[in-house]
Structure formats: structure tokens, C-alpha cells
Structure 1
């Protein structure tokens, strides 16, 4: 079963970082805040500290490290020294230690085959594990847009993350869903430690949400909008205990919170997954 208390985490990707959004989230009982060192042109942490320092202690703050600013572009790196420095800098810029630091999209730098790729991932995970042990953050995790390359690189000697965050929702393919299931099983992470992100594929106004009716996945969901129903279904694609969702409008956030009162039709979800291309039970058309 999915977590009894599915959580909404306010994601700040593409957000303007306005104070009214944070106060609106707190009014709704949304106390999870997710950002990244590279959001808002690498200014997310310092902007939050400048505009909402008094509010941050009321949130559980997660952030991400892995992207670094260079004079002419942003680059990704799994270098352990750079990652440790980034975690330290995040605490300084936020004015507090983050509760959770994700290794951001490690697959971006894992083009080398095993064992080189495995060693690079293991060293990056060890850097975040060490940062946690030193009190630079409360815990560490992995946030992956495409977790499938990670599956073949994990072994029992590698530090285990506390949280895995992956894409979730009706626009996620079977490859990503299966990889998330496999990684959470290898690491022994229950659904409370698995987070979803980007439940709408980045745009609630995309034509797809007018062409399909996600309410078929929600019990007694006739009163929900298509967007609300899609959001509720995302907690089961894959099974996650929290979903990080971005918005600049507290009213939109309120609508998503309201959707959590409805139950998901798990049979419909199972049937849907069985029909996805690449699913073991999918039938050729």
C-alpha cells in the first residue's frame, strides 16, 4: 500500500522564490521545501536566506549538489572534493544545514562503463555520506531524472542513501518505473523513503492533460480536476511517499493538497503499468 500520509514537497525548480509562496505553503501544512544549488541561476540558497530566513526553520529543507557554475556554462561533476565543498557552501548560503542533500542526476556523469562508473558513483556517495557524518547535513539521498543507468552500478559496498527521488506520474515510462523499483529494493528503501518529482512532466497546461482523463485512476474522483487526479495517481507511479511539485501560486498548491483526500484505484494502476511499452506483461499491438 502507498504511504498512509502522502506528503507534498514544495519544489523550487523554475520558481521565482517569492515569500508569499512559502507562507502559503506553510498555511496549507506543506513543510517540505526542495531546491538545488543550481536553481535560480545558482542563487536559490542565498535568495531563500535573504527573503525568508525566518521561515526556513519551519521547513524541512532538501537541496541538491552536482552541478557547478563555470565562467561560461554549468557543468556536472561527481568529484568528491567538489561535492563536499558544495554541501558546506549550501549550509553557509542557506544560513543553516540542509536537512537532506541529494546527489543531483549522477547519471549525467556516468558515461564510463563499470567498473569506472561504479567507482565514480561510489566515491560520490561516500562524499555525501561523509558530509552527513560530519553534521554538514541531516541526511543524503540521490535525485535522478533517469535512474536506469544506476541499476547496474550498485553493490553492497556502496553507501546507502536515505532517500531516492525519481520522476513520477503518468508521463513516466516503464524503464524509469522499473529502475526506481529495482533501486529501492536493492537499497532497502520503503516507499516513505522514495520521492517523486515532475508529476506533470513540467507543464500542467500541456495538451495531454486535456486529452486523457486521469480520474479513472482515483476512487470517487469525479470532483477532481484532471490535474488533481494526475497528481494523486503520481504517488503510485512508482509508489512514493512524497512528491516534489513546483508552482509559484499558493492556490495551485492548495488544489494539489486537496487531491490527497482521494484514494487511488490500485487495480487501475496495475493494469495501466501492465500496458506500458516494455512491461513484461505488455502485449504487442
Structure 2
């Protein structure tokens, strides 16, 4: 078993939640586990407790609240009472208090900015702050797929999260990258307090990965595969300390852990981000 490396977080989105994946992760030194109340058809917590309850104490566990079962499927809500109850239920279903609970995609309910949007966000964050104070979780954070709508809502009335999670990688646009940077700065977060997710944009089988070679972003990219290079570069797009990545195969997870040995060429990363900004402004590359 390798020593624990918190830079890789095993994400369970679309995962089958098989025990062999968790034991394989532990063998690789991946001891951080990320799930959500709505994963696996809102059964993720119960399945984890049933199939791997004895393994969970070996992981630091993060989960998310914000989506709830509804008549037409999942519905999003920032109602503070529902959020607090969801954190309480998560701890009960897991059989333990999670180390971290994220407010899941708050922008989902805040896309239409109104005079009350900041108040709604403040009350939602306060609910997680209160749940943390009551010992239902050790800390709370914000996980945002599209952080741009949140930037204008930051203020002294909105409790500050301990951790921010956002999309990372070569397929993330300039707007999202800049918004993540703005939130990181506004919340005074750094180092391992910023997490990434979806480093491959949803699938390593997407056609785009056959057309580009991410190894150009590394100082010695020849030692790694294209997917390993894309994963390593994702830690700098934007700058994050940990990345949650999903897989059902321990071997694939092992390849990604091996990618951490690669060294990113920060100058090329900055040039790439400049090109993204120019493109988003309609300027010629």
C-alpha cells in the first residue's frame, strides 16, 4: 500500500460503488472519497455504508447537498431547512459524520440574479455553517460547476466556505477559469483548500482527446500518456491542490496517481490561458 496522497480524490459520480474500487484506491494511497446525496439515484450513502462500511473509516469522506428527489426527478433547492436536514441524513446514512459537506451547485438556483440572491446564498451557507458547528460534519464548502454567477454574490453577509470545488482541465473555458480564480481570492483560499472536478470534461473517450496532445504542457511529457498529461495539467487550470476523478477501474486510477510525477510547464499554461481569454473576447489568436 502506498502512502496517502490527498492530491487525488476518488469521485463516485457515475460509479458503480464497488468494494474492489475502494480497496484498490486504498492500495494506491487514495484515501479521499467524494460523493453526493444524489449520486446513484440518491442511494450513494446507503450503498457505501452497506457494501464498504468497514472501509469508510480509512477514508476522508466528502459529500454534497442541494439536490433532492422530486416528482420529475432531481430538483435543486437552497432552502436552509432542507439543506440542514440533508446533512443530518447524510451522516445517518453513511453511519458516520463526513469530513466535508459541499453546497452543491448553488448557481443552479441563482442563475437569475435578483435583489435577494445574496440573501438566499447567505442563508444556505449559514445552514451548512450551523450543521458544522453542531458536529454533523467537520467542515463545509461550495462545489460549483459554473462559478461565474457566484462572484457578484460574495459579501460580508455570506459565510466563507473552507473548501471550494470547481471544474478543471483543458476543456474549461476562460470565463469559468477566471471565476474560479476570483472566488479563490475572495474567499482567501489556497493550497489544498481548492479542489478540482471533471478533469476530462466528462469522458476520456471524447473525440477531442484524439486530436490534441496535452503532453506539451509538461516539462517531460514523453514519460506519460496523453490522458496522464491532461490529468496533470488540470491541476493548473485553474490552480488547485486536489482533483476528484471518477472511475470504476483501479488500474485507471493507478495511472492517474502515476501522472502526479509529471512537472507542469507553468509558462505554457499561462500562454494557454491568455489564448482562451483572447478567444472569449473575440480577438484573433
Equivalent-residue separation in structure 1 for 2:279 and 2:125 (angstroms): 30
Native 8 Å contact 1:275 1:282 kept in 2 = no
Q: Which residue of 2 aligns with 1:155?
A: 155
Native 8 Å contact 1:276 1:282 kept in 2 = no
Q: Secondary structure at the match of 2:196?
A: strand
Report how many aligned residue pairs link the two structures: 281
Equivalent-residue separation in structure 1 for 2:281 and 2:78 (angstroms): 37
Query: Could you tell me how far 1:73 is from its partner in structure 2?
Result: 1.6
Is 2:150 aligned against 1:137?
Answer: no
Please give the TM-score of this superposition, normalised by the length of structure 1: 0.96
Is 2:266 aligned against 1:262?
Answer: no
Native 8 Å contact 2:36 2:44 kept in 1 = yes
Please give the TM-score of this superposition, normalised by the length of structure 2: 0.96
Equivalent-residue separation in structure 1 for 2:35 and 2:200 (angstroms): 18
Query: Could you tell me how far 1:195 is from its partner in structure 2?
Result: 0.4
Is 2:39 aligned against 1:39?
Answer: yes
Native 8 Å contact 1:76 1:109 kept in 2 = yes
Structure 2 unaligned regions, length at least 5: none
Q: Which residue of 2 aligns with 1:198?
A: 198
Native 8 Å contact 1:147 1:176 kept in 2 = yes
CA RMSD of aligned residues (A): 1.5
Equivalent-residue separation in structure 2 for 1:210 and 1:150 (angstroms): 34
Native 8 Å contact 2:101 2:141 kept in 1 = yes
Equivalent-residue separation in structure 1 for 2:186 and 2:137 (angstroms): 24
Give per-residue Cα distances to partners, 1:144-185, cap 9 Å, x unaligned: 000000000010221100000000000000000000000010
Query: Could you tell me how far 1:281 is from its partner in structure 2?
Result: 9.2
Mapping 1:99-248, distance limit 5 Å: 99-248=99-248
Query: Could you tell me how far 1:6 is from its partner in structure 2?
Result: 6.6
Equivalent-residue separation in structure 1 for 2:280 and 2:74 (angstroms): 39
Q: Which residue of 2 aligns with 1:98?
A: 98
Query: Could you tell me how far 1:127 is from its partner in structure 2?
Result: 0.3
Equivalent-residue separation in structure 1 for 2:166 and 2:72 (angstroms): 29
Q: Secondary structure at the match of 2:152?
A: helix
Q: Which has the higher contact order (CA 8 A, sep 6+)?
A: 1
Structure 1 unaligned regions, length at least 5: none
Equivalent-residue separation in structure 2 for 1:173 and 1:109 (angstroms): 22
Give per-residue Cα distances to partners, 1:12-56, cap 9 Å, x unaligned: 000000000000000000000000000000000000000000000
Query: Could you tell me how far 1:9 is from its partner in structure 2?
Result: 0.1
